[in-house]
Amino acid sequence: MHNSTVPIHGYAPYQQDKGEDYMGAKQLEHFRLILQAWKRELMEEVDRTVHHMQDESGSLPDPNDRATQEEEFSLELRTRDRERKLIKKIDQTIDRIDKDDYGYCDDCGVEIGIRRLEARPTATLCIDCKSLAEIKEKQTVG
């Protein structure tokens, strides 16, 4: 269950006014700010990793220690690669907001919903279409 007091990348959950249109200017700005904050967090983490790897690389004389360090660096690089892909997806989502094409399911066109988007701001499918896609994927892979 969603706790309405937990900040989302530093922003309070959206409180919708009575009669407010879905994905009006206030809502779009709310999600733009969340996405920009999330992107900043990811970019700061990438920068920290780069600096950490520069500071630590080659500082260990023991070959076993260096091998362990290289394995740790490899894991960090894979994580950072996933984060770079997520940054790209965030940029694409911000572009959708700019084009007024945010918040609706790509498959069926219904509203994705504010709470689902706060949980997953880059979502492009409503929960029903996402669930159906996961079932189909399991059937194809399984």
Is residue 14 in some structural domain? no
Return the pLDDT at 74: 80
Return the pLDDT at 113: 96
Q: What is the residue range of 118's domain?
A: 104-142
For the chain, how many structural domains are there in total?
Answer: 2
Return the pLDDT at 98: 96
Is residue 122 in some structural domain? yes
Return the pLDDT at 1: 42
**Residue 22, number of CB atoms within 10 A of its CB:** 12
Domain shared by 109 and 128, yes or no: yes
Return the pLDDT at 2: 45
Is residue 61 in some structural domain? yes
Which token pair is 23? Answer: 């994905």
State CA 33 to chain mean position distance: 13
Q: What is the pLDDT along the chain (142 residues), one digit of tens a residue?
A: 444 578 899 999 999 999 999 999 999 999 999 999 999 999 998 777 766 666 665 566 777 776 777 777 788 888 888 999 999 999 999 999 999 999 999 999 999 999 999 999 999 999 999 999 999 999 987 6
Is residue 9 in some structural domain? no
Domain shared by 92 and 27, yes or no: yes
Domain shared by 41 and 75, yes or no: yes
| Nearest CA among 111, 105, 102 for reference residue 129 | 105
Domain shared by 26 and 95, yes or no: yes
Domain shared by 37 and 95, yes or no: yes
Cα–Cα dist 133/76, whole Å? 30
